[in-house]
Structure 1
Amino acid sequence: MTAPTHLPYGGIATFARAPIVHPDRDWQAFAAVLGIPYDIALGFRPGARFAPRALREASLRSVPPFTGLDGRVRLDPAQYPDPLIVDAGDVILPSLESELARERITAAARAVKSRCRLPIFLGGDHSVTYPLLRAFADVPDLHVIQLDAHLDFTDTRNDTRYSNSSPFRRAVEDLPNLVHITTFGLRGLRFDGEAVAAARARGHTLVPMEEVEAQFQDILAGLPAQRPVYLSVDVDAFDPAVLPGTSSPEPDGFSYALALRLIREVVRRHSVVALDVVELAPNLDLTGRSELLAARLIMETLAEVFDVRS
């Protein structure tokens, strides 16, 4: 007899009902979730510190294994000898010591990375991607594929070098193995001209939103095949009519279908070494649909990676 399970609103909220582990203990898994409840680097509306908890709660609606309309079973824990997914909790962060916060984020990410095949990081504002990327300094020929309305390559903003506008600028300064960044979904009226020029001078690929659907197959095909890719999804890449719960929404963004189509192509062409999802502010969307969409995207990305590697 199958043991009874909680409905989505019952029980303890770990991600997808995954067992809880400590980043530094002895465990192995296919995927591991790590929360980074940090948003003191924002330039506009706060709230991303609440995202890891909200994503865990939203994930309870879709617990593996999944069965599609065609009857196909995906992300079946029975197909993997170790736990399919575990929840490594949240990084314990000091409230206002930003350098110490970055050190702890990097250390926790390294610990999780060493124990699973796909780390999944729940931000947090986009500044956390820089200390997360430092955990991948040992991955040669690393590429970043970024879904984002904004470039996040600014040198300084309001005399601040470590804001959510600068994670990739700091990363390329610090990580010689990070060879290329491709950003999909750029749009808006607030671009930093120096940042755009610096990214282009380094050879980064900048894809405006209006060109994504027409060009992304050619752009992905132009990247060296089967390279390690760190996938960073800023939820403001989505149209705010689809996902309103974010600090700096920009009109005319991704639909869910187009974003998932792009992620599928990335997973099938390259080796995804990690996923982060950042800038979700659940307090800015009282309907709860923003975290439901983001949790679903994480689940579908995990299923795609598992299908490819299985």
Structure 2
Amino acid sequence: MNLHQNPSPFHWSGRKSDQVEYWHQAVEAISNLKLREDNTRKIGILGYSGEEGVIRNQGRIGTIEGPSSIRKMLGSIALHLPEDVPILDYGDIFTLDQDMESSHEAISKITYDLLTSSHFPVLLGGGHDLAYAHGRGALKFVKEKGEKLGIINLDAHFDLRPLVKEKGHSGSPFSQLAAEFQEDFHYLALGIQRAANPKSLFEMAEKVKAGFIVMEEFRLHNWEFIEEQIIWFIDSVDKIYLSIDMDGFSSAFAPGVSAPSPMGFNPQIAFKVFELIVKSKKLISLDVVELNPQFDQDNATARLAARAVEYIVRKKFVNQ
């Protein structure tokens, strides 16, 4: 069963220039998932056009268009990456006939293959169930090297909910990873909102030994404490996989999400966290999820998601 769609040049557009000055000019569309397997550093973009997990979690549908919206906003951003770092778009994985599990299998394999071929995977969602597939591929890669993977999630929610009728969903990716990998599961959640997480989820977080910072504490004036907690976590692992759920941002900055909240964090604190993580030189993989273009306003959420991706990869590859 082929669940892959080739990348569309339509999604990459922007200001015309005689030189390569913008992302849309630098991105190379790769058909049929033919991964570039040399050992040089490179960025591998993969979209997840899926919202079955959101539907199962009773969220607002529309995340299926997330990857294309992020690409459109990325295309017009000025390019500041080294010339020897290619940006390769490998298209999208989609869900057929509500079979989200097959989509996850495909994404896990591609994530693993991207990592083993010296890519920095940038996965664009889609629902946050993507994190289960993404995390599974990253954990396999890191475990084979005898190392420890840490997962950092910027989010309003723990996403540690139980399965529904024995099936995963957008609220369960990290509980699934915890169940599958047990002692190899190391998780830090930033921006958790108590109003959006019942006591049972705090109990679950304690059970799986997750670290977290609640939204009341995740503010710029508290940066010294936040920095200390993140550095402690980073120092306890060998590699980092970063997941950014756009619904963690305040709806003032990110209205186009499945579960908006006015009480989320602002871009300033998030981008300070991004820089701190990248400085560790342990970041190996990234995803951005839960963008819902149907509810976006002037592409504000898509622009923020694109800026987050651009900032992280630029900080990772410039002066590396």
SS of structure 2 residue aligned to 1:218: helix
| Superposition deviation, residue 248 in structure 1 | 0.3
**What's the counterpart of residue 171 of structure 2?**
165
Counterpart AA for 1:33:
I
Q: Residues 113-132 of structure 1: CA distance to partner in whole angstroms, max 9, x if unpaired?
A: 22234110001100111011
Q: 1:205 aligns with which of 187, 205, 211?
A: 211
Summarize the Cα distance change of 1:244–1:44 in structure 2 as closer, same or farther, 3 Å threshold.
same
SS of structure 2 residue aligned to 1:248: coil
Contact 2:178-2:208 at 8 Å conserved across structures: no
Counterparts of residues 278-289 of structure 1 (less than 5 Å): 278-289=289-300
SS of structure 1 residue aligned to 2:171: coil
Equivalenced residue count is: 289
| Structure 2 residue 306 is matched with structure 1 residue 306 | no
Q: Which moved more, 1:45-54 or 1:56-65?
A: 56-65
| Superposition deviation, residue 44 in structure 1 | 1.6
Q: 2:158 aligns with which of 141, 144, 151?
A: 151
Q: In structure 2, how many angstroms separate the alpha carbons of the residues matched to 1:17 and 1:95? A: 35
| Superposition deviation, residue 296 in structure 1 | 0.8
Q: In structure 1, how many angstroms separate the alpha carbons of the residues matched to 2:226 and 2:100? A: 36
State percent identity of aligned pairs.
23
Q: Residues 147-178 of structure 1: CA distance to partner in whole angstroms, max 9, x if unpaired?
A: 00011001135x45401110000011112463
Counterparts of residues 38-187 of structure 1 (less than 5 Å): 38-42=50-54, 43-65=58-80, 75-77=81-83, 80=84, 83-136=85-138, 137-139=140-142, 140-157=147-164, 159=165, 161-176=167-182, 178-187=184-193
Counterpart AA for 1:300:
Y
Q: In structure 2, how many angstroms separate the alpha carbons of the residues matched to 1:302 and 1:177? A: 30
Q: 1:291 aligns with which of 302, 307, 311?
A: 302
Q: In structure 1, how many angstroms separate the alpha carbons of the residues matched to 2:101 and 2:306? A: 29
SS of structure 2 residue aligned to 1:189: helix
Summarize the Cα distance change of 1:59–1:114 in structure 2 as closer, same or farther, 3 Å threshold.
same
SS of structure 2 residue aligned to 1:239: coil
Summarize the Cα distance change of 1:143–1:56 in structure 2 as closer, same or farther, 3 Å threshold.
same
| Superposition deviation, residue 223 in structure 1 | 2.0
| Superposition deviation, residue 307 in structure 1 | 3.0
Structure 2 unaligned segments of length 5 or more: list them.
1-11
Q: In structure 1, how many angstroms separate the alpha carbons of the residues matched to 2:178 and 2:210? A: 11
Summarize the Cα distance change of 1:84–1:196 in structure 2 as closer, same or farther, 3 Å threshold.
same
Q: In structure 1, how many angstroms separate the alpha carbons of the residues matched to 2:318 and 2:98? A: 41
Q: In structure 2, how many angstroms separate the alpha carbons of the residues matched to 1:185 and 1:7? A: 33
**What's the counterpart of residue 246 of structure 1?**
257
Q: Which moved more, 1:299-308 or 1:118-127?
A: 299-308
Counterpart AA for 1:230:
Y
**What's the counterpart of residue 228 of structure 1?**
239
| Superposition deviation, residue 193 in structure 1 | 2.5
TM-score scaled by structure 1? 0.86
Contact 2:189-2:211 at 8 Å conserved across structures: yes
Q: Residues 82-126 of structure 1: CA distance to partner in whole angstroms, max 9, x if unpaired?
A: x43111111243241122122122122222222234110001100
Return the structure number with greater helix share. Answer: 2
Q: CA RMSD in A?
A: 2.4
TM-score scaled by structure 2? 0.83
Q: In structure 2, how many angstroms separate the alpha carbons of the residues matched to 1:269 and 1:171? A: 24
| Structure 2 residue 284 is matched with structure 1 residue 277 | no
Q: Residues 57-89 of structure 1: CA distance to partner in whole angstroms, max 9, x if unpaired?
A: 111111412xxxxxxxxx232xx2xx4311111
Q: In structure 1, how many angstroms separate the alpha carbons of the residues matched to 2:209 and 2:306? A: 32
Q: In structure 2, how many angstroms separate the alpha carbons of the residues matched to 1:183 and 1:120? A: 19
